[in-house]
Structure 1
Amino acid sequence: MRKTIGQGLERGVFPGVVACVSVQGEPVFYEAHGAAEVLPNERAMLLDTRFDLAQLTQVVATMPAVLRSVQLGKLSLVDPIVRYLPEFATGIDRYSKAQINAFHLLTHTSGLPTWRPMFLTARGIKAYLRQLADTPLETAPGTRAIQSDLGYLLLGFLLERVWDRPLQDICEKLVFQPLGMTSTSFAGEGLPADLCAATEIGNEWERKSCDQREAASFPWRGNTICGEAHDSNAFYGLDGVGGQAGLFSTAADLNQFAELWVRKGIVRRERFLDTTLVTLATSAHGEASGRSFGFGWELAGEACAIGSTVPSNSFGLSGGTGVSLWCDPLSKTTSVLLTNSIHPETSESRADDLARWREQFHVRAFQG
């Protein structure tokens, strides 16, 4: 694995990396290499460097907070979410949206599209809910999987409405504190930059994905993003806290979180998640472009993001900032791989390079 990391650094796939691979709860590889930041100043990568988890937020914070809420009787997987968020079904496709429940959102089968640049005009939950109400569904609920950041954005709003508390507080109480994840938190208004791995200079990737007329007048960040949510919907519109993105964590904390899943809901010999919920979360419920999804997790398969040679019952997820987490409950192996591959800039070719390299690393991690 050290050789694979060296090859990634030499090829310029990323400036720096922290990797932690554990078997039966014991780390067998835990190392930091390269730089946490190269521009404007170079800074070494450390084992405890915090990374922007991007879409990993969905399975590390939002999804387990929803499952804990179900377990505590605060929420049902099958009740329509309009019971809690009636304003969601007041616009386009209102009758179909009235059928959407938490199960649909968790499994990416709500019909909501992958992403929309709502941050260009939306500020705060009410404005986002208005835009979500006016966003057309791409499919009928429950018919097909579309990996959707918007679905998890909505789950974050659902949690806040159910608990009447900020999402950060909910996740801290229900997930991070019980699991001992002391270095995990949402970016909020910003974390100390010297603790974090840098991401892009500005939001060039998302800026290019917007309508250029709207993007031209938007006050984009131009600095090196470090300690702030890279995701624009989280940063500009939601003060750095979203159900879809905005979480920061370390390899050690994520290793601890992964142990929960390979031990099927048990933490320090106590049940943290019901067996039924763990089974549901890691079973296939929808397919998108040949990729199968559980509750946020992508499941191993021919078209999975890290290739077809990983263990058949493994599951995991990757985030757009260069981070990934995969688990194999059969061998009780977990593989945490955190890179700052989009620093100082990113491109489709660089993303492809990372995808190929990431597959090599995780395959080697599972092979031992």
Structure 2
Amino acid sequence: MRWWTKRLQGELERTIQTAIDEGHTPGAVICVGTAEKILFIKAFGKRREVPSPQPMEVDTIFDLASVTKVVATAPAICLLWQQGKLDIHAPVKRYLPEFSGGHKDKVTLLHLLTHTSGLPAFKNYLRMGLKGQKEAIIADICRTRLKASPGKVFIYSDLGFILLGEIVERVSGLDLDKFCRRHIYEPLKMDWTRFNPPKSWHSKCAATEWRDGKMTQGVVHDPNAFALRGVAGHAGLFSTASDLARFCQMILCEGELNGVRIFEPETVRAMRTNHCPVEGVQRGLGFDIQSPYSPQMKGEKFPISVFGHTGYTGTSVTIDPFAKVFIVLLTNRVHPDDKRNIASLRKSVANLIASAIYG
């Protein structure tokens, strides 16, 4: 591993510490590794600043936000596909009969996975007064008019992934949390990964924002995931850098880790291959390859084949299938008031590592 040097490690440490000193995030945990081993893991700053400070630790549990899409929902769909229990090329209405009529009849699971269904990006169901009313939320999404014909336009849609989470439950008989824990996290020994972390975990979680006069810590930040009681296809998963490292290593090893096989190699290759019908955008099965969001996770210097995902709370995973390298960068940039931005930090970290690998 000639590209990994003390100089590179020092540059990464300085870059992250500078971002914290300049107020871009209260804290961060970075983990860089290969398919076989962890090269570097370190915590910086604070996991909570207010109402009282707590230091960041390497085992801090983060609200992953949209990284949920590629560590829970899309893998669950792909596992059911691999098992022959659903078909990603089938229309959504086969699994959600209420999602039908007009162009909706042509929307497939693959359209949902690549954000090309035509569904709008977002609705705030918490603000609409639907807290705890999952059936009403699903019904509303199924009634929502498409903004474009299926397969024609890339619209990054949380609503589409909420439907995918519902499909996992209807096909498997388990909610997304139970399905993923049973079939992915427990076999991979991802012991600190789940939706709705128990109260005993809350003090170990990175804080996000104030809600109803209390600092949110260990309770999901995303309003729609909160409205859906914490288990949702688009957001809500909590995890640590070490657990996410195991997930990335499993992907790099084409579906297997330490003798435990989760996916067949062809399933992993499908997950990281472009399936997006829209010109200029490349999306795998959940994974972002090239889109308006991809520079955030992989900068400008990684090859186009590199894939991953970002999360609103300040989280990201980046996987390079050729160099067999992953980067997990977890921050609490929304703490305490959602006024901080880590776009430049994400790019700088990716560019430093890509430059070291590729020159």
TM-score between the two structures when normalised by the length of structure 1: 0.87
Deviations 1:50-82 (A, max 9, x none): 000000000000111111111112111122221
Matching residue of 1:210: none
Matching residue of 2:314: 322
Deviation of 1:269 after TM superposition, in Å, equals: 4.1
- Unmatched segments (≥5 aa) in structure 1: 203-220
Decide whether aligned partners of structure 1 residues 253 and 157 sit closer, same or farther in structure 2, where only a CA change above 3 A counts.
Answer: same
Matches within 5 A, 1:45-124: 45-89=56-100, 94-119=101-126, 120-122=128-130, 123-124=132-133
Deviation of 1:5 after TM superposition, in Å, equals: 1.1
Deviation of 1:4 after TM superposition, in Å, equals: 0.9
Deviation of 1:278 after TM superposition, in Å, equals: 1.7
Decide whether aligned partners of structure 1 residues 288 and 143 sit closer, same or farther in structure 2, where only a CA change above 3 A counts.
Answer: closer
Q: Match of 1:364, as an amino acid?
A: L
**One of 267, 279, 294 as aligned partner of 1:304:** 294
Matching residue of 1:39: 50
Matching residue of 2:149: 140
User: Given the alignment of the two structures, is residue 167 of structure 1 paired with residue 167 of structure 2, yes or no?
Assistant: no
Q: Which runs of 4+ in 1 moved over 4 A?
A: 188-191, 287-291, 300-303
Q: Match of 1:67, as an amino acid?
A: C
**One of 118, 140, 143 as aligned partner of 1:131:** 140
Q: Match of 2:186, as an amino acid?
A: Q
Deviations 1:281-316 (A, max 9, x none): 112222779542212211157973333212332111
Q: Match of 1:355, as an amino acid?
A: A
User: Given the alignment of the two structures, is residue 198 of structure 1 paired with residue 207 of structure 2, yes or no?
Assistant: yes
* Aligned length in residues: 341
Matching residue of 1:225: 216
User: Given the alignment of the two structures, is residue 292 of structure 1 paired with residue 282 of structure 2, yes or no?
Assistant: yes
Aligned equivalents of 1:116 and 1:288: distance in 2? 24
Aligned equivalents of 1:56 and 1:18: distance in 2? 15
Matching residue of 1:206: none
Q: Match of 1:313, as an amino acid?
A: S
Matching residue of 2:190: 181
Deviation of 1:113 after TM superposition, in Å, equals: 1.2
Aligned equivalents of 1:178 and 1:110: distance in 2? 33
Deviations 1:76-100 (A, max 9, x none): 11222212211222xxxx2221222
Aligned equivalents of 1:132 and 1:101: distance in 2? 15
**One of 241, 263, 269 as aligned partner of 1:279:** 269
Could you tell me the percent identity over the aligned residues?
37
Matches within 5 A, 1:255-270: 255-270=245-260
Q: Match of 2:165, as an amino acid?
A: G
Q: Match of 1:340, as an amino acid?
A: N
Aligned equivalents of 1:39 and 1:310: distance in 2? 37
Deviation of 1:190 after TM superposition, in Å, equals: 5.6
Matching residue of 2:8: none
TM-score between the two structures when normalised by the length of structure 2: 0.89
**One of 346, 349, 355 as aligned partner of 2:343:** 355
Contact 2:65 2:222 in 1 (8 A): yes
Deviation of 1:355 after TM superposition, in Å, equals: 0.5
Q: Match of 2:185, as an amino acid?
A: F
**One of 250, 270, 279 as aligned partner of 2:240:** 250
**One of 329, 332, 344 as aligned partner of 1:340:** 332
- Unmatched segments (≥5 aa) in structure 2: 1-11
Aligned equivalents of 1:241 and 1:104: distance in 2? 22
Q: Match of 2:189, as an amino acid?
A: G
Aligned equivalents of 2:303 and 2:351: distance in 1? 9
User: Given the alignment of the two structures, is residue 12 of structure 1 paired with residue 12 of structure 2, yes or no?
Assistant: no
State the superposition RMSD in angstroms. 2.0
Aligned equivalents of 1:136 and 1:278: distance in 2? 33
Deviation of 1:17 after TM superposition, in Å, equals: 0.7
Q: Aligned to 1:66, what secondary structure does the other structure show?
A: helix
